[in-house]
Amino acid sequence: MILKAEREYLSQAAVLADELFPGHAPGELLAEWAALPPGELAVFLALEDGAPAGFAQCQLRRDYVEGTQTSPVGYLEGIYVREQYRGRGLARALLRACEDWAAERGCAEFASDCQLENTDSIAFHLGAGFAEANRIVCFVKPL
């Protein structure tokens, strides 16, 4: 079952998000989500037999999004399914929920990103109908 994570389900999604984004405490992610303007973010939770199995976070991006021509763009910020629940179509169902949410808000495009070395994520995105827009290497130096 896929549901929009609100209230009690939002904290369960934050625990899953912490598994995807190590180093963030669930409370920290909840605060980040709460700080976004209303209607700009959606978090979906996949439940299997009542247990949290996966989550997806999407939001509207109004700044430039690589490879897109419109604004706002629906953006997949994170998607994760616990290993024991993989191979059941949950990630695709979570993605569809995000895409539907973005389309309901007038988005004509939906985008995402992942690290260059994350071959599993690249395969998921390509298999789900995404087309690669660009590859970049980011740089930083102290001043």
pLDDT tens track for 76-120: 999 999 999 999 999 999 999 999 999 999 999 999 999 899 999
- Confidence class of residue 62 from pLDDT cuts 50, 70 and 90? very high
Instruction: Report the pLDDT averaged over residues 26-40.
Output: 85
Give the pLDDT confidence score for residue 23 in this predicted structure: 81
CB 90 within 8 A of CB 46: yes
Rounded Cα–Cα distance for residues 39 and 23 (Å): 26
- Confidence class of residue 29 from pLDDT cuts 50, 70 and 90? confident
Helix (H, G, I), strand (E, B) or coil at 74: strand
Rounded Cα–Cα distance for residues 41 and 37 (Å): 8
Helix (H, G, I), strand (E, B) or coil at 33: helix
Q: Write out the two tokens for 28.
A: 């920290």
Say whether pLDDT at 7 is over 80. no
Q: Write out the two tokens for 140.
A: 């930083």
Residue 96: Cβ within 10 Å count: 15
Q: Write out the two tokens for 13.
A: 């999604």
Say whether pLDDT at 25 is over 80. no
31-40, 47-56, 58-67 — which is least confidently predicted? 31-40
